[in-house]
Every structure is written in C-alpha cells, then in structure tokens.
C-alpha cells in the first residue's frame, strides 16, 4: 500500500474530526408520501409516464429519461400517485415531482432477492441493466450508463479508480460501504470490469482510513485485475478527480495518457443491486450530521423522503440550525426549507450551527494572500476577484478561470469573507464572447 | 413548500476557517497594548492620553469617511490599529494636536482617498508619522522625556540615545556607542547594572563572552524615546506571538531586521572600519523594531509572494539603515517603508503570487 502526495500547492486542512457515529447505517422510516423529483440527474427532466390516481409498484417506472444526461426515475415505494407537483430542490432549482402516497405491499423490501446469474451476461446487457435501473453518478449527476458508454469509441478504459474520498472530508459513508458491504461492492466491481475490461484497478483512501485500505489492498475478484490500494493525506479537496490524477501521476503509477474511470464504492454496490437483483435506484445512504443535529447517523433513506424527516429520525435539532446544507459544507447547496426530498445524488444533509458557519460581514480584500495559498489549482483568486469586480470576464479566463473547480478553498480561508467561489461560478456562466 | 426559513441567498462554502479581517486587526492592536502599558509606567500616564487622542481622531475620521462613502467599516479595527501604531511613534511629551492631526491625515488622506481599507498603497500609520515629522519637525524630534527610573523625577526632558550620541561625537560615527555615551555622562539605571551582572555571571560568562552595561536598559526601554518603540523586547515578543498564531507573515519583518542588523554591523562602525558596527545598539536605539514588526506586517501595503515579501523587507531594512547612517533624521524608518510601499506593484509583478502566474512569467 502506497501513500500518495496529492497537493503540490494549495489545499486546506479542514479542522474537525470525522463525524463519530454510534451505530452502523440503518434504514430510515418509509415516507408516507414520497416526493420523487423527475430531475435527479444533470440533464433534462425525465418524461412523466404515470398519471394522478395510478397505482404503482415498488420500483415501477415513473419517468423516462430523455436526451443527454437524463435517467429513468422509479417509484421508491408502492402506492397511489397523488399528483405531479412543482418542488424546489437544494440551491433553488425547481422541477416537477411525482408524489406517491404509500399504500399496498412491497415487492422487494423484506423479501429475499432473486439473483440473476449475471456472469453469463454480455457486456452490453450489463450496461443496459444499469441504464434501465436509472443509476446516476452522485458526484456530477451523469447517468452511469452514459459515463460507461464514453469508452465504447475504440479507446478502451485502462484503469478503474475506486475512490472512497468525498467532498466532505468528514463523511464516512463511502468507507462504511466498503467495510460493511464488502461482497456486494466487490461483485459490482467485477461487473464493471466485465464492461470496461481495464488493465489495472486502484482504490484511493484518506490516510485516516488506512485500515480499510489495507483490507482492500490486493483484493482480486473472479473478474478484472487485482485492486491496488493507495492513501492520500487528509487535505481538502482531496476528492477531485484532477487531484487524484495528479497524485497518481506523480507516483508514476499512471501516465498522462491513461484513460481512467472514477467510481464511488456506494455506486458499485448499486451496480451489484441493479444487475444481480434487478433493483432500480430507490434509496440512498445519507449522512445526517452537523452541529445542530442531536445524534448524527447514516440513514438508508428511500428517494423522495424529506430531509426534515431524516433530521427528526436523528433526534431532531440540539441547537438552532443556521443553515441546512445538502452534499457537503464546502461544495454543497443550501436548502430553503426542510421539505426538500432526497434524490439519487444526495450524499449528506447537514444542519450547521452559527458556530460552524461563522458568518461575518464581508469586508474589502486586504491582499493577505491566504486564498492564493489555499488554491489547489495554483490560481490567484485575489486577482480573479479584482477582475470580476471590473466585469472583465474575458481577462478572468486568461487568468485561468477555466481551471477553477469551484471547490471553495479560497472562500473558506478568506478572512474578509469575500464569496470568491460564488463570484467565480457567476463569471463562468457568462458567455465566452462577453467582455463586460 | 413555500416556507423559507433558511436564507437561500448564500453560496458554498458554508463553513469558514473562522478568522476575520477585524479579528486580525484587533489582534495586532492587542499585541501593541503591553508596550503602551509598559511605556505608561516608564514615562508616566501622559502616554495613554496621547494614545487616546490618536485613537479618537482616527475613529472620528473613519466614521466621517464612512458617512460620506456610505460604507461602514469602523468595526474592522484597521483605524484603531493605525492609530495605535501612530501613537507608538510619538514622543511622550508631544503636543496633543500633533497625534490628532496626523491620525486624521492617515485615515482621511492616505486611506480613504484611495477607497478605504484595501485601497491604500501607503501604510496609513507610517504616512501619518512622516506627516508629523515634516510638519512639526522640532516637536517630533524634541519631545523626549527621561524615564523616571533613570532620572528619579517625572517629565525631565532629554534627548534620545541617538540624538545624544550625535551631540557627543559631533555627528561622527563610533564603533562602541555605549562606551561613548557612558563617558558623556549618559545615565544607566541601577537595574541595568544588576541585570548585566547576573547575565554575565550565569549566561555569557560560561560562554566566554561579556555583555557591556547599557544594553539591558536599551532592550527594556529605560531610555528616552517614542512611546511604543522603547520596549524593543516587548515588541519582539509580540511579533513572536503574532507570527506563531499566523496572524502576520514572518518573511518581511524577519528579513527587514536581518538586513538592518547586518548592515549596521558591516557599515555602522567608526570611519572606514568594516565589521565594527554595533547591531544591537542600532536595533534597540531607534524605532525600527516597531516599524518592522507592525508596519511591514500590514498585508495591504506589502507584496504577496514569499520572495517578494523577503525582498520588500530587506529593502526596507537597507533603506532604514542608509537613512540613519547618512540621512538627516536620526530615524528614517517610516520613509524607508513608504518608499518600499511604492515598489509593491513592481515586486508583485516580478514575483507573482500564484503558481500559474509564475509559470507564465517563466515561459
């Protein structure tokens, strides 16, 4: 097992211990009404195929994915379709959602799974199974089947990287999946190897999880290459593919032309369920944490459960939360209310106290340079912000705006509380030909 | 579904390291307070009055500028810090209108005419000091007071060791300034004798060295001098705390003190003697430590990258030495730093802060 160096410049040591959990992941209560958004992926919303009053089975198709980066949506619970309503998702995005009132009996939950003999399946059959079950990559919302098809153009995938690193350095979900559902993850990995036929496979861990890394080092399934485990220092943003690529490149285990595929352990477990158990994407392991939560926990929640229900199940709030945030305190999105439903890409919900957000008034830049020191891409956020203030978006691109990953390390460190990442996100949305 | 209990007008990241610009300013100001307390014991409580007047003038100016600019920045602490640094460079016996007007000049002209904190290219406190030295030359160079511990009485006017030395030698340079001062009848405290004896017996003696009398007085501030700059050892202590808590960056102050001390050792001696200067005397007899620790640590008026900061500090140290050695004023540290302030854009261009910009420069 080798230790990699992931940051040449920049990076942050995020204060705080990983979230201490008192128990293993447990099932959350089923929602009485599941609000299932038709857009749980990066592309266009799925086309609704049910009508109010329809009776749906657990796992029945609710929406058909159409176009690029769009995925099928299935009913997480059996019941009656109440209506199709507008919901607001985290970050202020709105989309249609199918409301399913829970009733009737489950066809899968609580019953032993019927296993499909997948080892006799062809490559394209596995990809089709993944597509039909609506699997979506949580990190960017791209449907997994679409991400896999990128390697069909004759330049095969050479390397699978299983990454247990998350955008929230304190989120233990991925590591927990790796240790608790070892068999499923490994079988999912074998399925992926059948599809991609990689030459090698790596698994990347945080230094703090070295014991799990050790347990996975050298593991070889009946299909695919043996897994080689690596650890990286605990620095934010260690999870970005660019950082992992750079670390692997520096360790000379890859070259700059290596075609690699990054996948999270939880998605591997979902691949196993989708292919072997024919189970669509119906639930997510969600970390419920933050200083305001009474007892942080990992809950296995059905899609469409409201985040408020999850907080309630964790004992409610110990302190008044100042912000409710989805998917990480550094890169996540803010929730306007507690009715926001869990989707396929939800990794965690956080209720942050004022002590954690530490909001202060924004002040002028004093050129202290901590943002420059924090930037993992070696950019100069100070200068970018100055250009932003003048509206010189073209000059910002010349200064490397395109390399910014919006990780937020600069804004996290800025003593003047300048919302640097937000400014850069706004500037990126400007059309390239615009100069002011 | 229409409830909006948590503000949506906020973007990632949602947590913060916790440091704020105002906490840095107030922290640096707090680090100056021991020097003021010590000074009020040495020179009497009037030094606190000088500090109060300077602070009041600075805060009033800042508040007035805020009203005009409709931007409220009194809470950021920068005006308070500038006022304290300015007061620290004033003689204890200074007339009160001098700190008042200088502080107003520093805040209104130097800082706010460029847009407030972050916009100024000159360090406001140092510009205020320069303003005072130019406008009230005699008061600024003559309001010195002999410490009570040396004279036994309050408010006895005196000249600083540097001024005294210049008078005693007629401006000629000497290699052993303390010897000359002693022969010229410059007072040394009884504590200095005891402390020097103790240090020689237990620290320097075993090492085969001997500390001459007078240095302990200099380091502790038992000498006529400006309010905040006399206790050099307290200022150095404050800098260690500020640097270890990462509230200021070490590169500029360190290289400035190093350059100043090194040049004083090389060229500070009598006549053409090389390597015969007294670096300790040079550092502790003027106001350079105050300038180096507090003015060179101001991020607004200093470069960003490490090599640029080191060069900036070394330049300030070298100029400060040159002004003292060959210049008209006994202590020209403020002017040295102001000149270097003007070079900051050049330094930033030559040594860009980000790795990307460096790559482009080298390409």
ipTM score here? Answer: 0.86
Q: Residue B343: its pLDDT value, please? A: 96
Residue with the bigger pLDDT between A21 and B182: it is B182
**Between chains, do A339 and B3 touch, taking CB under 8 Å as contact?**
yes
**Between chains, do B12 and A333 touch, taking CB under 8 Å as contact?**
yes
pLDDT band at B77 (very low <50, low <70, confident <90, very high): very high
- Chain A residues within an 8 Å CB radius of B119: 364
Residue among B299, B352, B354 minimizing CB distance to A366: B299
Whether residues B236 and B269 fall in one domain: yes
Q: Residue A435: its pLDDT value, please? A: 53
Whether residues B241 and B172 fall in one domain: no
Q: Residue B2 domain-assigned? A: no
Q: Residue B274 domain-assigned? A: yes
Average pLDDT, chain A: 89
Q: Which of B140, B173, B191 is the last residue of a domain?
A: B140
Nearest-Cα distance to chain B for A150, in Å, is 31
| Separation CA A9–CA B216 (nearest Å) | 44
**Between chains, do B6 and A323 touch, taking CB under 8 Å as contact?**
yes
**Between chains, do B119 and A361 touch, taking CB under 8 Å as contact?**
no
Whether residues B246 and B347 fall in one domain: yes
**Between chains, do A415 and B118 touch, taking CB under 8 Å as contact?**
no
| Separation CA B238–CA B81 (nearest Å) | 14
Q: Residue B325 domain-assigned? A: yes
Whether residues B133 and B55 fall in one domain: yes
Nearest-Cα distance to chain A for B319, in Å, is 24
Q: Residue B7 domain-assigned? A: no
Q: How many residues does chain B have?
A: 363
Domains and CATH numbers, chain A: 2-19+115-276 (3.40.50.11540), 31-111+279-355 (3.10.20.600), 370-429 (no CATH)
Q: Residue B362 domain-assigned? A: no
Whether residues B121 and B189 fall in one domain: no
Whether residues B177 and B282 fall in one domain: no
- Chain A residues within an 8 Å CB radius of B11: 334, 419, 421-422, 425
The answer to whether A338 contacts chain B (CB < 8 Å) is yes
Q: For residue A350, which of A371, A370, A365, A335 has the smallest C-alpha distance?
A: A335
**Between chains, do B15 and A330 touch, taking CB under 8 Å as contact?**
yes
Q: How many angstroms separate the most distant Cα atoms in chain B?
A: 88
- Which structure tokens are listed for B330? 């006994």
- Chain B residues within an 8 Å CB radius of A334: 6-8, 10-12, 14
Whether residues B73 and B96 fall in one domain: yes
Residue among A87, A352, A368 minimizing CB distance to B15: A352
Task: List the 313-332 stretch of A: residues with Cβ below 8 A of B.
Answer: 321-325, 328-332
Q: Residue A17: its pLDDT value, please? A: 58
Q: Give the Cα-Cα-Cα angle A160, A278, A104 (nearest 5 degrees).
A: 140
pLDDT band at B271 (very low <50, low <70, confident <90, very high): low
Q: Residue B4: its pLDDT value, please? A: 37
Whether residues B237 and B342 fall in one domain: yes
User: Under DSSP, is residue A188 helix (H, G, I), strand (E, B) or coil?
Assistant: helix
Residue among A85, A333, A380 minimizing CB distance to B357: A380
Q: For residue A266, which of A169, A185, A172 has the smallest C-alpha distance?
A: A185
Mutate: best of B2, B7, B15, partner A, most A CBs <10 A: B15
Mutate: best of B5, B6, B10, B14, partner A, most A CBs <10 A: B14
CB pairs under 8 A between A and B: 152
- Chain A residues within an 8 Å CB radius of B305: 369, 372
pLDDT band at B183 (very low <50, low <70, confident <90, very high): confident
Residue among B13, B117, B353 minimizing CB distance to A412: B13
Q: Is the pLDDT of residue B2 over 60?
A: no
**Between chains, do A412 and B17 touch, taking CB under 8 Å as contact?**
yes
Q: Residue B101: its pLDDT value, please? A: 97
Q: Which of B106, B140, B174 is the last residue of a domain?
A: B140
Q: Residue B171: its pLDDT value, please? A: 66
| Separation CA B98–CA B90 (nearest Å) | 9
- Which structure tokens are listed for B108? 């209104």
Nearest residue of chain A to residue B13 (CA atoms): A330
**Between chains, do B5 and A400 touch, taking CB under 8 Å as contact?**
no
Whether residues B267 and B344 fall in one domain: yes
**Between chains, do A364 and B18 touch, taking CB under 8 Å as contact?**
no
User: Under DSSP, is residue B332 helix (H, G, I), strand (E, B) or coil?
Assistant: coil
Q: Residue B157 domain-assigned? A: no
* A348 burial level (CB within 10 Å; 0-12, 13-18, 19+): buried
The answer to whether A95 contacts chain B (CB < 8 Å) is no
Q: Residue A19: its pLDDT value, please? A: 63
Report in angstroms the alpha-carbon separations of A314 from A28, A151, A287, A291, B278: 10, 42, 10, 12, 69
Q: Residue B153 domain-assigned? A: no
Whether residues B82 and B133 fall in one domain: yes
**Between chains, do B73 and A363 touch, taking CB under 8 Å as contact?**
yes
Q: Which of B108, B140, B172 is the last residue of a domain?
A: B140
Q: Write b or e for each residue in B279-318: b if 16 or more Cβ atoms lie within 10 A of its Cβ, otherwise e.
A: bbbbbbbbbbbbbbbbbbbbbbbbbbbbebbbbbbbbbbb
Whether residues B265 and B284 fall in one domain: yes
pLDDT along chain A (436 residues), means of 10: 84 68 81 94 93 94 92 95 91 89 88 87 91 92 91 84 84 87 93 92 90 91 90 88 90 87 94 93 91 90 94 92 88 87 92 88 91 92 93 90 91 92 89 62
pLDDT tens track for B130-149: 999 999 988 888 778 888 77
Q: Residue B155 domain-assigned? A: no
**Between chains, do A366 and B300 touch, taking CB under 8 Å as contact?**
yes
Q: Residue B10: its pLDDT value, please? A: 65
- Chain A residues within an 8 Å CB radius of B27: none
**Between chains, do B8 and A324 touch, taking CB under 8 Å as contact?**
no
Is A294 in contact with A317 (CB distance < 8 Å)?
yes
The answer to whether A347 contacts chain B (CB < 8 Å) is no
Q: How many domains does chain B have?
A: 3
Average pLDDT estimate for B201-217: 84
Whether residues B328 and B256 fall in one domain: yes
- Residues in B lying within 8 Å of A, measured between beta carbons: 1, 3-8, 10-24, 73, 75-76, 115-119, 249, 299-300, 302, 304-305, 352-357, 359
The answer to whether A46 contacts chain B (CB < 8 Å) is no
Give the residue numbers spanning the domain of B85.
21-140
């Amino acid at each position: 097992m080798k230790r990699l160096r992931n940051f040449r410049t920049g990076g942050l040591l995020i204060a705080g211990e990983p979230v201490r959990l008192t128990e293993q992941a447990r099932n959350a209560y089923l929602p009485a009404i599941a609000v299932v958004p038709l857009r749980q992926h990066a592309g266009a919303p799925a086309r609704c195929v049910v009508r109010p009053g329809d009776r749906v089975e657990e796992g029945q198709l609710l929406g058909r994915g159409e176009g690029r980066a769009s995925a099928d949506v299935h009913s997480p619970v059996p019941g009656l379709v109440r209506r199709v309503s507008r919901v607001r998702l985290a970050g202020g995005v709105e989309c249609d959602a199918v409301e399913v009132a829970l009733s009737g009996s489950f066809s899968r939950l609580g019953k032993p799974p019927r296993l499909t003999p997948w080892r006799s399946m062809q490559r394209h059959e596995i990809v089709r199974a993944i597509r039909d079950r609506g699997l979506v990559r949580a990190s960017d919302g791209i449907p997994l089947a679409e991400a896999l098809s990128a390697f069909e153009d004759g330049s095969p995938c050479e390397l699978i990287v299983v990454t247990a690193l998350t955008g929230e350095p304190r989120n233990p979900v991925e590591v927990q999946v790796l240790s608790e559902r070892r068999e499923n993850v490994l079988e999912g990995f074998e399925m992926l190897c059948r599809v991609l036929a990689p030459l090698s496979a790596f698994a990347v861990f945080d230094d703090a999880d070295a014991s799990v890394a050790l347990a996975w080092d050298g593991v070889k399934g009946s299909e695919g290459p043996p897994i080689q485990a690596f650890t990286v220092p605990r620095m934010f943003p260690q999870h970005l593919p660019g950082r992992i690529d750079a670390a692997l490149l520096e360790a000379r285990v890859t070259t700059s032309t290596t075609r690699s595929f990054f996948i999270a352990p939880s998605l591997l477990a979902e691949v196993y369920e989708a292919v072997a158990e024919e189970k669509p994407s119906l639930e997510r392991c969600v970390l419920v944490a933050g200083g305001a939560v009474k007892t942080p926990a990992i809950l296995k929640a059905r899609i469409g459960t409201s985040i408020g229900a999850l907080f309630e199940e964790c004992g409610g709030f110990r302190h008044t939360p100042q912000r409710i945030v989805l998917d990480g305190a550094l890169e996540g999105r803010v929730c306007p209310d507690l009715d926001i439903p869990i989707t396929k890409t939800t990794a965690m919900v956080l209720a942050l106290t004022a002590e954690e957000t530490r909001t202060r008034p924004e002040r002028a830049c004093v050129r202290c340079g901590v943002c420059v020191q924090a930037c993992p891409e070696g950019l100069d956020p100070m200068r970018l912000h100055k250009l932003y203030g003048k509206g010189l978006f073209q000059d910002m691109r010349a200064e490397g705006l395109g390399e910014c990953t919006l990780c937020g390390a600069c804004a996290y460190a800025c003593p003047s509380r300048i919302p640097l990442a937000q400014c850069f996100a706004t500037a990126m949305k400007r059309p390239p030909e615009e100069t002011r | 579904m229409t409830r909006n209990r948590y503000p949506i007008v906020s973007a990632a990241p949602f947590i913060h390291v916790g440091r704020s610009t105002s906490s840095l300013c107030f922290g640096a100001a707090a680090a100056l307070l021991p020097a003021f307390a010590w000074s009020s014991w040495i020179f009497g409580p009037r030094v606190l009055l000088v500090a109060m007047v300077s602070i009041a003038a600075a805060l009033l100016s800042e508040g007035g500028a805020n009203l005009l600019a409709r931007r409220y920045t009194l809470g950021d602490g920068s005006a308070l810090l500038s006022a304290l640094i300015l007061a620290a460079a004033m003689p204890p016996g200074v007339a009160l209108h001098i700190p008042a007007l200088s502080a107003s000049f520093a805040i209104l002209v130097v800082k706010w005419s460029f847009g407030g904190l972050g916009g100024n290219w000159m360090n406001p406190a140092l510009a205020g000091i320069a303003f005072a030295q130019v406008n009230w030359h005699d008061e600024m160079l003559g309001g010195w007071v002999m410490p009570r511990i040396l004279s036994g009485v309050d408010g006895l006017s005196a000249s600083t060791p540097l001024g005294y030395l210049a008078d005693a030698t007629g401006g000629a340079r000497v290699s052993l300034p303390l010897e000359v001062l002693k022969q010229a009848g410059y007072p040394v405290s009884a504590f200095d004798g005891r402390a020097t004896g103790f240090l020689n017996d237990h620290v320097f003696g075993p090492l085969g060295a001997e500390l001459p009398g007078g240095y302990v007085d200099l380091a502790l501030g038992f000498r006529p001098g400006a309010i905040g700059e006399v206790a050099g050892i307290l200022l150095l202590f404050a800098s260690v705390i500020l640097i270890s808590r990462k509230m200021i960056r070490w590169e500029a102050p360190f290289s400035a003190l190093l350059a100043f001390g090194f040049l004083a050792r090389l060229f500070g001696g009598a006549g053409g003697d090389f390597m015969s200067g007294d670096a300790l005397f040079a550092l502790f007899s003027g106001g350079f430590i105050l300038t180096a620790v507090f003015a060179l640590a101001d991020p607004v008026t200093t470069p960003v990258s490490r090599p640029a900061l080191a060069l900036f500090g070394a330049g300030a140290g070298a100029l400060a030495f040159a002004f003292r050695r060959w210049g008209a004023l006994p202590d020209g540290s403020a002017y040295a730093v102001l000149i270097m302030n003007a070079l900051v854009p050049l330094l930033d261009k030559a040594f860009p802060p980000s790795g990307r910009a460096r790559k482009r420069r080298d390409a």
